[in-house]
Amino acid sequence: MLQIEKKIEFKPVTLLDKQLFDEFYKSNDKINSVNDFATIFCWNVTGNTKYALIDNDVLIISTIYMGKKAYYFPISKSKRSLRPYIEMILDIEDYNGHFIAHIEKEDLDGLQDIKGYKLIYDRDYSDYIYLSKDLIELKGKQFHGKKNHLNKFVGSYKYIFRDYQSKDFEQCIELYDLWLKNSGTEKTLEREAIIRALQNIEYLGLKCGVIEIDGRIRAFSVISILPNKKAGNVLFEKADIQYEGIFAAINNFCAKEYLKDVVYVNRQEDMGIEGLRKSKLSYHPVFLLNKYRLICDTD
* pLDDT tier for residue 299 given thresholds of 50, 70 and 90: low
pLDDT reading at 13 higher than 50: yes
Confidence tier at 110 by pLDDT (50, 70, 90) = confident
Region 138-156: mean pLDDT is: 97
Please check the confidence at residue 6 and state whether its pLDDT lies above 50.
no
Judged against a pLDDT cut of 80, whether residue 146 lies above it is answered with yes
Question: Pairing relation of β-strands 11-12 and 264-266?
Answer: unpaired
Percent of the chain with pLDDT over 90: 85
d(CA 39, CA 146): 27
| Helix locations, the chain, DSSP H | 4-7, 18-26, 37-42, 83-92, 132-137, 144-156, 169-183, 190-199, 201-204, 246-258, 274-281
The pLDDT of residue 208 = 98
Q: Looking at residues 44-48, what average pLDDT do you find?
A: 95
The CA distance from 102 to 195, in Å, is 25
Per-residue pLDDT tens digits for 248-274:
999 999 999 999 999 999 999 999 999
User: What angle is formed at CA 207 by the lines to CA 203 and CA 211, rounded to 5 degrees?
Assistant: 135
The whole-chain average pLDDT of the chain stands at: 94
- Residue 297 has what pLDDT? 87
More confident residue, 238 or 97: 238
pLDDT of residue 8: 66
- pLDDT for 5: 47
pTM value is 0.94
